[in-house]
Structures are given as C-alpha cells and as structure tokens.
Chains A and B, each alone.
Chain A
Amino acid sequence: MENNQQQNENAGFTGGRPPGLRLLGAIWIGKILIFLTRKLGRGGTTLPGRAALSIAPDLSFMLAGRLKRGTIMITGTNGKTTTASLINDILDKAGLKCIHNQSGSNLAWGIASTLIENCSWKGRMDGDIAVMEVDEGAFPDVTTSLQPRGIVVTNIFRDQLDRFGEIDSIQALIKKGLDAAPVGSFQIINADDPSLASLTKSKKTKRWTYGLELDLPPDDFQNTGRDVKACPNCSHKLEYVKIYFAHIGHFHCPSCSYKRPEPDVRLTGRRVTGEGINQIEVKLPDQTLELEVPLLGIYNLYNVLAAITCARAFYISTPIISEALKNAVPSFGRMERFQKDSKEMIMALIKNPVGANEILRTILNQPGKITLVVAINDRIADGTDVSWLWDVDFEQLAAVKNRFSSVIATGLRAWDMAVRFKYAGFEPGQVQVEENFEKAVELALRQTGPESKLFILPTYTAMLDIRRYLNKMGLGNPYWEEY
C-alpha cells in the first residue's frame, strides 16, 4: 500500500524488483573497490562509482529508484554543503534514514559511490531518502539519473571560470537540470537571486521560494561579485531596494515587469547573541516560527531558509525543524571550530569572491585580535585560475590591519596571496609567506595570543591538506577524502 503511494510521488521508484546481473556486478565491483581504497587509506569516493558506472551506466537511476522516499538534490554555487547537511539533520530528526554524500563527492561518480556504499550486496537500499549535494556542472546529468523528488537551488555566482565558464553558462546548466526533473517533483529556489527567479518551471512541477526580509546595516564591502546586473528578460539594468550581498536582494526591473517573487518562506527577524547564535523569525504561509541556529554569517541565513522550505515541502512539523536547527553544527570546513590548547582555531573554506567576502565580513564581526592564514592552492578542485583573489575585498581587512597580529600566506600560490595582501594595503613586513601548510599553521599558532583567534581560510584542496595535519594533532574527526 505504502509502496503504491510512494510510486505516485516518485516516478523513478523501481520498488523491490530484483536487480539484474549487470547491476549486481556493478554494485559488487563498487563495494570491493570501496573496501580496497579504504584499506589503502584513501577516501574511495570517486573510483568505485566510476568503475561501477562503466559497467552499469544506469546504476544511479536504479539504486536511487529503490529509495522509498526518493532523493533531494541541492545545487548552486555557494551553500550547497551546509544546506544539504541542514536538510539531512532535519530529516534525520524526523526519523527518516538519510543517505548523504560528502562535499567533494558531488559529481556523478561520487554520487554513485555514495549509493553503492549505502546498499546491500543484493542491491537493497539501506535508507529511506537520499540527500545529495550536486555540482552545478554535473547537475543536468545527475538530475536525469536520480529523478529527484525535490531540488534545491541556492544561488549562482561567479566561480571557477576555468571550469564552469561564465555565469550565463552556469545558469544554462541549472535550467537544463530543472527541466530534466520528473513530473510531480518540487523545486526550492532562492527568490532573492535574479538569475534563479527568472528560470521558468514546467507546469508539472511545484515551486516554493524563500527570501530575506531584513533591514541590515550597510557595510563597506564593494560587492565585487555582482555578476547579475541586467534583467534576464529585457537586459535593462536591474534596480534594488535592498541588497544583502553581491546580486542577492530585493530586485526589480524598471523596464519590464520582472521582479523578485514574493517568497513563500521569509526570514523577517534576526538577532545575534553574544555566543554567536542567530535567533531568527521565519514566516511560513501558515505560521511564524522563532528559532535559534548556531551558524554565523548572513549567507547561512539563506542556507537555513532553504532547509526549512525543503523540510516543509516534506510536511515535517515545525518543532522537529526547530529542534534539528538548534543543534546544527558547521559542515566540513565551513566555519569549523577547533581548540588547540587554549587557542581557538576557526577554519572556513573560500572558493569564490562572493563566498570569501561573506567569510571576511563574518570574521570582522568577531571581537578581539585575529591571526589569519590564507591557504591558496590551484589544483583542479580549487580552480586553476587564481585571479578571483583580486575580486575578494581583502581591503576591508587591511582597513583594520592593527587588529591582525599577523597575516600568513601559504599553499601552492602563497606568493600570489602575499602580493594580494600587499596591494590590499597590509604593510609588507606584516605579511609572512610559508609555502608549507604544516609550518604555516605552526607559525600561526605560535603567533596567536590568548586574546586572539586564529582564522584559517583555505581553498578546497588546501583544506584537505590542513585538515589532515589537524587530524594528526588529534583535532577534528578523520574523514574520507576525495582523490
């Protein structure tokens, strides 16, 4: 009975049909490779899925189709990992068994690996629902294979031009993915992003939107990442009543009728306590929620809203949502806190100008002295082009340079970062360069006094390197990393 009902909700549901030999073989190969790569001390998130998909290209479709409650996909430039993890927390609290991929395994191969890892040797899924973070580039294909029940799109910003191309092409990818979503599925869209609100939806899907309705004090950030300037419909310059950051805000086109849609879920109040907890007021169509979320930063308010909206699309009750969000912890490398002796270390991933500016803004809102390590790598996963560093508003840090006990540049592109600090306005003597991560973190710890906090801002692969080192010192949980 339940199966029938679910089948209607999710066209891709393949129920309890036994898997074919080819699929079974692919699952076995995948499982063996996961075991072997783990044995070798590697994460095994890419290779097993890759091998399995080469045997059974429809593996992800078949396995995801066996999930009783289907799949939720989260994509967008920034906030994917945090939003996916919040949704996971809420569904978990609601008693659903979730399958969840890690950031870094968000391409087709990594998603296949995650599914294989969470099914039995006979292909039975060990979970009710999958919450999958999906890379924007992989989004159209992964949508086709997972046939998700719901899709969350957080935002579109300029990111890794060497990989994604310009923002227009990211938008085209998102559109293609949304168009591939199955009949009856739902979409959760950020109403404050003009590049998303203009995306048309097919008649047979449902859409909910979310947005901020706050009066925030303006700051001096130059919003260098305002990638969307023109109306997507008529190319006239967009006007804003409010801008929260970059091109995210209350926009309208003075020339045609395009404007920010009235969001279904609105954040209408916010207070930050001394402990850095956001106390927020969220208006749903039928009620107003008061809740606490221990995540810093304006950008996290959007992640929280996206998660709440998604949870409501699943009819999860508001007490469960509140309870889950109250205990939310920062995801992997997203303002993650570590304690070394009496010294506090906070690690925050940076990967594009808008995200990095939001991190800098959050850092500057912290009291006390700051030691800063910026770790820049230029491997494929980081983006091989480091010119984005020049669009990050490091000038805001240099404007209060006395608050910094030291600034240290490290990573494969440490010297580029050092030059960036110099041109931002730091004194050349204040900028230290240590290409080796371990030495850079050691140096930073030595220079962090009792009254100051150490902030480490790495790119993706630099974060993996630094994390491995922190693990060695006994800090943080070990993890399975991507190749």
Chain B
Amino acid sequence: MSRINIYHLYPTHLNLYGDRGNMLALCRRAEWRSIDVNIIPVNPGDDIAFSRCDLLFMGGGQDSDQKMVAEDLKGRSRDMLKAVEENMVIFAVCGSYQLLGRYYITAQGEKIEGLDIMDLYTEKGKGRLIGNAAINCSLWEPPRTLVGFENHGGRTYLGPNLQALGTVLHGHGNNGTDKTEGAVYKNVIGTYLHGSLLPKNPLLTDYLLQKALAYRNQDSSFQELDDSLEEKAHQAALKLAGLQRK
C-alpha cells in the first residue's frame, strides 16, 4: 500500500483561515484511494525528519504567531532547501507563503527574514486585499481554474525567474497590480488563496498527493473519485467571482 507522510507545521500557530480544511482534503482524498496517510504535527522546537517528510503543509498565522514561527524555522532552512531541491512537496498558504520568500515586512513595518526558498519578497501595502478570488492555474495544460478567498495585507512580488501559480481572473492576487497569484518552484506551491482552498479544488489536492507519491517513487496513478459535490462548489464559487468555467 502507498503511504504519504504529511508534516503539518505548527498546527496550533498556523491555522488561521480554515487551514484545517486543507489538511482534511489531503487526508480524505488519500484515504478514499486507500493510501495510508500519516500526519505528523510539528510544534515549535520539534525536529522535522526531512528524510521521512513527503509533503510539508504550512498554514497562515497571525502576525504575532508568524514571528515566532519565522524564528523557529530559521535553523531548519538549510535542510528544508535541500529537500526542496530533491522535489519534496511543500504547500504553503498565506502567512507561510510569505515566509518562504526572502523577507517580508509586517503591518507594523518590521522586517522579518524569510527562508529564501522562493525568489520573492513581501512589502506592506495600504489596506488589506480581501474577497473571493479565482485564478487560471498553469500547473495544467490547458490551464484550469482555482477558486478561493484572499485576505492579506502584504504585497508579494515574484523574482524574474519564479513562476506564478496562476493568473488572476477575479480578485487581487499577489499584489493587486501584476495579475499574478501565488508561486511555484519545483514542488513548492505558495498561495494567498484559502477558503479552504483544497476541498473546492480537488484537482490541486490530487496534484499535491501525486507529487508526494512520485517524490518517493511510489505509484502515482490515481483512481478517479466522484467529485460532483466539489465540482458544484467550484462552479458556485466561479459564479460568485462573476465567471463561468471556460
């Protein structure tokens, strides 16, 4: 039987915007395919065995929590980067997406050094970018839609060689100006979208699971699931964003 070890970073500190929904989606969709999922919660100070971790999930946090998390992660960045280069999967939402970059500046103007895993940085902006969002995601060819909700004060800018997760169809995206949303580097995906993101976008959930299996050379061919409810929710969210699926 296939098996995926999901390391859940700081579940008590990074769980702001329904991140539990993302974890549930990963677990349930693996279970429904009889893939054994092992969840390892990581708390500040705990070790992360990168040799065993297949998928690292990082959620969003309040500014006060985020600083603590940044401190705690600093010592692990070298190991993390090495695993990333070997194609370990990371899925990071909102606050922890910012943390994957070079630095970010908090609402109070404080500069926090990031993990420097992705070539991006985050500045503070005027007002928060809030609302339903939809993007055209280029993980697939042709691109497919992802739908979610964004709520962030930071404005993230990608380096010239970093690929965005998608193009904004509705909403603000990384910074409200350049129409990019999220970022992809190897098997690392960072995004501002929550909602929760994964339950309504089963395609992305399956993408992460498959990459995690492939990372350990396990069979990543998937049986299809009945996604009619998820599909309806996806469509309803597209409609909310004033869009119909192309």
Contacts and interface: CB of A to CB of B under 8 A. Distances in A.
Given A168-B63, A390-B18, A419-B233, A235 B68 contact: yes
Interface in B189-204: 194-196, 199-200
Given A230-B64, A386-B195, A390-B196, A161 B131 contact: no
**Interface SS, A side:** helix
Interface residues of B, number: 37
Contacts of B199: 390, 419-420, 423
B144 interface: no
B201 to A, nearest CB: 11
Given A161-B16, A161-B151, A386-B149, A415 B236 contact: yes
Contact of B28 (A162, A391, A423): A423
Given A166-B62, A168-B62, A235-B68, A387 B195 contact: yes
Nearest to B230: A419
A204 interface: no
Given A389-B18, A391-B20, A422-B229, A229 B13 contact: yes
Given A168-B62, A384-B131, A387-B149, A224 B226 contact: no
A76 to B, nearest CB: 19
B232 interface: yes
Residue among A378, A387, A391 with max Cβ neighbours from chain B (10 Å): A387
A386 B236 CA distance: 13
A150 to B, nearest CB: 31
B236 A416 contact: yes
Nearest to A227: B62
A419 B63 CA distance: 30
Contacts of B149: 162, 384-387
B12 A226 contact: yes
A433 interface: yes
A165 B129 CA distance: 12
Contact of A388 (B18, B25, B62, B64): B18
A362 B41 CA distance: 29
B221 to A, nearest CB: 23
A162 B229 contact: no
A153 B218 CA distance: 55
Contact of A419 (B20, B68, B200, B240): B200
B184 to A, nearest CB: 22
Contacts of B65: 229-230
B17 interface: yes
A413 interface: yes
Nearest to B44: A237
A29 interface: no
A422 B200 CA distance: 12
A167 interface: yes
Given A390-B196, A423-B21, A431 B12 contact: no
Interface string B3-36: 0000000001101111111001100100000000
A150 B151 CA distance: 35
Contacts, number: 94
A426 to B, nearest CB: 11
B139 interface: no
Contacts of B25: 423
Contacts of B235: 415
B132 interface: yes
A95 to B, nearest CB: 46
A431 B131 CA distance: 28
Interface in B95-149: 128, 130-132, 149
Given A162-B130, A418-B233, A390 B151 contact: no
A478 interface: no
B15 A224 contact: yes
Given A229-B13, A387-B194, A387-B195, A224 B20 contact: yes
A254 interface: no
A18 interface: no
A428 interface: yes
Contacts of B64: 168, 230, 235
Interface in A127-168: 158, 161-162, 165-168
Interface in A415-452: 415-416, 418-420, 422-423, 428, 431, 433
Contact of A167 (B62, B128, B230): B62
Contacts of B226: 428
Nearest to B61: A166
A77 to B, nearest CB: 15
Contact of B229 (A385, A387, A388, A418): A418
A236 to B, nearest CB: 11
B53 to A, nearest CB: 23
B21 A390 contact: yes
A389 B15 CA distance: 13
Looking at B19, B65, B194, B233, which has the most chain A CB atoms within 10 Å of its CB? B233
Interface string B167-192: 00000000000000000000000000
Contacts of A418: 229, 232-233
A162 B130 CA distance: 7
B12 to A, nearest CB: 6
A414 B237 CA distance: 11
Contacts of A413: 236
Contacts of B232: 415, 418, 433
Given A423-B21, A433-B229, 12 more contacts: A162-B130, A162-B151, A168-B64, A229-B65, A384-B149, A387-B196, A390-B19, A390-B199, A416-B233, A422-B229, A422-B230, A423-B28
Interface of B: 12-13, 15-21, 24-25, 28, 62-65, 68, 128, 130-132, 149, 151, 194-196, 199-200, 226, 229-230, 232-233, 235-237, 240
5 contacts: A162-B131, A168-B62, A385-B194, A387-B21, A414-B236
> What 8 pairs between A and B have smallest CB-CB spacing?
A390-B21, A387-B18, A390-B18, A415-B233, A166-B62, A415-B236, A415-B232, A390-B196
